[in-house]
Chain A
Amino acid sequence: MGRYIAIAILRGLLSLLFASLVVFVLVRATGDPVRILMGTNASPQDVARVRAHLGLDRPLAEQYLRFVGNALRGDFGRSIPFRRPAIDLVVERLPATVQLIGLSFVLSLAIALPLGVYCAVYRGSALDYAGRTFAALGQAIPPFWFGLVLILVCAVHLRLVPTCGRGTLANLVLPTVTLGWYFAVALMRLTRSSMLDVLGTEYVKLAHMKGLYERQVIWKHAFRNAALPVVTFAGLLLVAMINAAVTVEVVFAWPGVGSLIVESVVSRDFPTVQAGVMLITALYALSGLVVDVMYGYLDPRIRVS
C-alpha cells in the first residue's frame, strides 16, 4: 500500500510540474512582460534595467526554474490593479469555491446514488423512465444556462431566493443546485449501468436465494461491488466540477477563484491569473490523489498490480 500511495503522489507531482510548464510557456508567449509593464514609451535603458531586475535576461530554463521555485513559496508576483501579492487574492477567494464545489458534490451524490440504484433495480418501471429522461435532459443543458433559468424562475418571478452574491444560506441554494444537478445526471447514469451489471451476477442471485432482505441484497451485496467505477468517476467528477464551477460562479457572481480568474483576464492581471490557475491545478491533483488512494483501499487488486 505504501508503494502504491508513493506512485500516486508521484503522479500528482508530475501533473503539477506539467501544469507549471504550460502556465510558464503561455505567459511567456504573451510577448515581453516588461513592455506590458512599462508601456511603449519607456527608454531602452529603463527597459534593460527592469528586465535585469526581474531576471528576464537569463536563459529560459533558468527563468522556468526560478518560476517554479517562487511558485513553491507561493510567490506569483503582485497583482497589477490591486497592488497586493497575487496569491493572497486567490487564497481569499478559495473558501467560497471550496464551499460551492463541496456542497454541490454532496448534493449530486445524494441525488445520483439512490436514483441510479433504484432505476437499475426497477428497470423498465416508470421511475426508470423518469430517471433516464432526467439524465438525457441534464447532459444536454449547459449548466450556466440552467443557472439563468433558475434565476429567472426562483429569484425574479417567485422571489424565493436572492439572485447573486454570497453570505447567507439562501445565497447558496441556486449555485449549488445548478452545479450539483449537472453532475448528478452523469453520476446517476453510471451508477445505473454499473448496478445493472452487478445485479445480473451469480452472487446476487445467491444472496436472493439465501432469503436475504431485498434491501440487504441491493446495498450490501450489489452496491458495494457496483461502487468501484462510481468512485473513480466521482473523482473525475470533482475535477470536472472545478471546470464547470467557473461558469456557475460567473453567473451567480459567486466570489470564488473561478470568477476571480475570469475578472483578472478581463483586466489583464497576469500574476493573479497564474496564481489562480496553479492553485486550482494543485487542488485538482490533490483530489486525483485522494481518488487513487481510495480506489486502492476499496479494491485490493489494484494495489498489487
Chain B
Amino acid sequence: MGALLESAFAIRRFWGDRRWPPPFPLLIVVLFLFSAIFGPLLAPHSPTEGTLAKRLLPPVGLDGAEADYILGTDGQGRDILSRLIHGARITLLVSVAGIAVTSVLGTVIGLLAGFLGGWADFIAMRVVDVSLSIPGMLIAVLLAAVFGASATNVTIVIVIVLWPDYARLVRGETLALREQDYVALARVAGCSNMTIMRRHILPNLVPSVLVLASLHVGLAIVLEASLSFLGVGVPPPSSSWGLLINEGRGVLERAWWVSMLPGLVIALTVISLNMLGDWTRDRLDPTLRQL
C-alpha cells in the first residue's frame, strides 16, 4: 500500500510539476515537422505536375470543388495541399540551416569579443554595428542578381540579418561570466584561455542561445517567404510557401485560395513556433524576457 501510494505520488509529481508546452501550437509544429520529413509519402498528388483540365479548382466546401483536391488547385492544375506539404521541407531546411549557422557564428564571435576584450571586442562590435546598418533584403536582391535565385542565398541572408543578435547577447553574457570565481579558479589551475572559454563559459551560454534561436525560427520562415515571394529566394518549380503566395497573385480575384491558403499556413506555423519559443524561454531562462 505504501509503495503504491509512493508511486502514485511519483506519477503525480512527474505530471504535475512539468509545465507542458501549449498543446495547440505543439500540434501544429509536430504536423509541420511531420510533413517536412515524410512529405513525399504524404502528398496525395505530384507537387510539380498538374492536370490542366483541373485548373483553379476551389477547396472542398465551395462550389465546383472535387473531393480529390482538398485544398483546391492552382493555375496549372497542381494540387495545393501537395505543394504545401512539399514546401514544408524547403521551409524547414532553409530556416533550420540558417539559424544553425547564425547561432554558431554569432556565438563564437560574441564569445571571443566578450572574453578577450580590447581590440577584438572593439572590432567585433563595430562589425555588428555595420551589419545592422545594411539592408538585408537588398543584399538578398543583390545576391540573386549576381548568382541567381537559390536556397543558399536565403540562408546567407538569414545569417547576415540575424547574427548580430547572437553576437551581442553572447558578448554581454560572457562579460558577466568572465568575472565569476570559477573562471578565476580555472585560471589559477592553469587552464588556457581556450579551455576556459570552451569548458567553463560556453556551456553556460547554451540556454540563452537556444532561447534566442527558438524565438528566431519564425522570423527566419517569414524572411524566407518574403525572399521567395520577391523571386530572389527559392526558385521555381519547387514549392516554397512564399513562392506559392506569389503564384496566386495573378489569379487573386478569381481564385483567392491559391494565395490565401499558403499565407494562412505560414501564419499558423510561425505563430505556433513563436509560442513554443516563448515557452522555451520561460522554461530555460525567464530573465530573457526582453528578447
Contacts and interface: CB of A to CB of B under 8 A. Distances in A.
Interface string B126-142: 10011011111111011
A236 B252 contact: no
A152 B231 CA distance: 22
B288 to A, nearest CB: 12
Contact of B129 (A15, A258, A262): A15
Nearest to B269: A140
Interface residues of A, number: 53
A136 interface: yes
B133 A288 contact: yes
A15 B245 contact: no
A264 B146 CA distance: 12
B99 interface: no
Kindly name the residue among B126, B143, B229 whose own CB sees the greatest number of chain A CB atoms within 10 A. Answer: B229
B263 A262 contact: no
A288 to B, nearest CB: 5
A281 B133 contact: yes
Main secondary structure of the interface of A (DSSP, over half): helix
B253 interface: yes
B225 interface: yes
A268 B145 contact: yes
B208 interface: no
A247 B147 CA distance: 20
Interface string B104-143: 0000000000000000000000100110111111110111
A22 interface: yes
B270 A140 contact: yes
A137 interface: yes
B231 to A, nearest CB: 7
Interface in A175-206: 193
A208 B117 CA distance: 44
Nearest to A156: B253
Given A18-B130, A246-B137, A277 B289 contact: no
A139 B226 contact: no
Contact of A193 (B146, B274, B289): B289
A141 B263 contact: yes
Contact of B142 (A26, A148, A268): A26
Nearest to A285: B133
A78 interface: no
Contacts, number: 146
Given A15-B130, A284-B133, A142 B141 contact: no
Contacts of B138: 243, 246, 261, 276-277, 280-281
A257 B256 CA distance: 28
Interface in A254-299: 258, 261-262, 264-266, 268, 270, 273, 276-277, 280-281, 284-285, 288
B226 A142 contact: yes
A243 B133 CA distance: 11
B260 interface: yes
Interface in A1-50: 11-12, 14-15, 18-19, 22-23, 26-27, 29-30
A151 interface: yes
Nearest to B242: A142
Interface string B219-252: 0001001100111100000000010010011001
A239 interface: yes
B287 interface: no
Contacts of B260: 148-149, 152
A142 B129 contact: no
Contacts of A277: 135, 138-139, 141-142
B266 interface: yes
A151 B232 CA distance: 23
A195 to B, nearest CB: 13
A245 B275 CA distance: 26
B259 interface: yes
A281 B135 contact: yes
A151 B136 CA distance: 26
B144 interface: yes
7 pairs of A and B residues whose beta carbons are closest in the complex: A145-B263, A140-B271, A15-B133, A140-B270, A243-B137, A265-B145, A18-B130
22 contacts: A11-B126, A12-B133, A15-B133, A19-B130, A26-B142, A137-B271, A144-B245, A145-B245, A148-B245, A148-B249, A152-B256, A239-B133, A239-B135, A242-B137, A246-B137, A246-B230, A261-B138, A261-B141, A265-B142, A277-B141, A281-B133, A288-B132
Interface of A: 11-12, 14-15, 18-19, 22-23, 26-27, 29-30, 136-137, 139-146, 148-149, 151-152, 156, 193, 236, 239, 242-244, 246-247, 250-251, 258, 261-262, 264-266, 268, 270, 273, 276-277, 280-281, 284-285, 288
Given A276-B138, A284-B134, 10 more contacts: A14-B129, A139-B271, A140-B266, A142-B229, A146-B263, A148-B245, A148-B260, A247-B226, A280-B138, A281-B133
